[in-house]
Amino acid sequence: RIFLLIRFVSAAVVQSTSAPVLRVVGSLLFFLPDPALDDALAAGLLDLAGEQGMEAESLQTYKRILETNSENVTVARRLKLALLAQRLGQWTWAQDMLEKIWSERDGLSREIQAETLFWMGEGAQYLGNENQALDYYLILGWKFPEQNIWALTALYRAGLIYENQGRFTAASRLFSR
């Protein structure tokens, strides 16, 4: 029965370009007997919705899943959702999600930890919390130097914040690294 439901849902999404169909399909997720299937099916919906420009609807579906079955949504998927929320201008929700991921960092790879810190810095900066953003960027730059692109970009952004604050000597030190 689960297989038939998944095939039905997939066919409905593939054949439709309307938001109401995606909302109905998203609602079906709550009737699955195995919550572990939520993330797999919702992941497919997120990808299909994104292809059809319905990212906001997909994010809403995921938010409902997170309210009821958050333990079944992988860290990688939650990170993608936080980035989608940032892109959609839902900065506070995204920041909360990133902070939850960061609170679980002990079991995460260093790459995921570095990426999470970077996006937390970007979110804090966008929300006007420059000092908090600076903390995130500097922690990333100094504690995760092996994560090249994340660490270098974080230190560059920290330097820009220092410049913005008139702290030119500190900015110069970061830029010369």
pLDDT at residue 1 in the model: 45
State the sign of the Cα–Cα–Cα–Cα dihedral 51, 57, 58, 59.
positive
Q: State both tokens at 147.
A: 């994560």
State the sign of the Cα–Cα–Cα–Cα dihedral 45, 76, 158, 152.
negative
- pLDDT tier, 19 (very low <50, low <70, confident <90, very high otherwise): low
Q: State both tokens at 134.
A: 């600076």
The angle that helices 110-126 and 75-87 make with each other, rounded to 10 degrees, is 20
Residue 127: CA atoms inside 13 Å, Cβ hemisphere, count? 19
Whether residue 34 is predicted with pLDDT greater than 60 in this model: the reply is no
pLDDT at residue 149 in the model: 94
